[in-house]
Amino acid sequence: MTDDIDLRLKALLAAPERAPDAAFTARVAQAVLAEARMRAAARAAWTRFAAEMAATASAILAFVLLARTAPPADSAAYIPLFGPAAAGLLLLALWVAVSVRPSGARF
């Protein structure tokens, strides 16, 4: 007798069958797509960062080598016009000028 009551209660309390939720499936698919795009953008950003760091390291190394080969300056109060420091400052200024984006630019 208890089995019959249990079966009846189970039938009465069971959740009705529903069709799959298409909106939920679409949201999950959109979230997966957004995550894949973010992962690709992060990978591209890290690749760009690595390339810029390699370029920076090579520029610094070039100026260190130039500074070692240059004759000592007569005065420490000014930067000689044709020395490695002046070339480094010029390169840094050009780099900043080229890499600055306008405020409304998109990445």
Domain count, the chain: 1
| Residue 15 covered by a domain | no
Structure tokens belonging to residue 104: 């409304």
| Residue 67 covered by a domain | yes
| Residue 2 covered by a domain | no
| Residue 107 covered by a domain | no
| Residue 82 covered by a domain | yes
pLDDT per position in the chain (107 positions), as tens? 567 888 888 888 888 888 888 999 999 999 999 999 999 999 999 999 999 889 888 887 887 777 777 666 565 566 666 777 777 778 888 877 887 766 655 55
Determine the structural domain holding residue 43 and report its residue range.
Answer: 20-99
Residue 23 has, within 13 A of its CA and on its CB side, a CA count of 0
Residue 86 has, within 13 A of its CA and on its CB side, a CA count of 8
DSSP 78: S
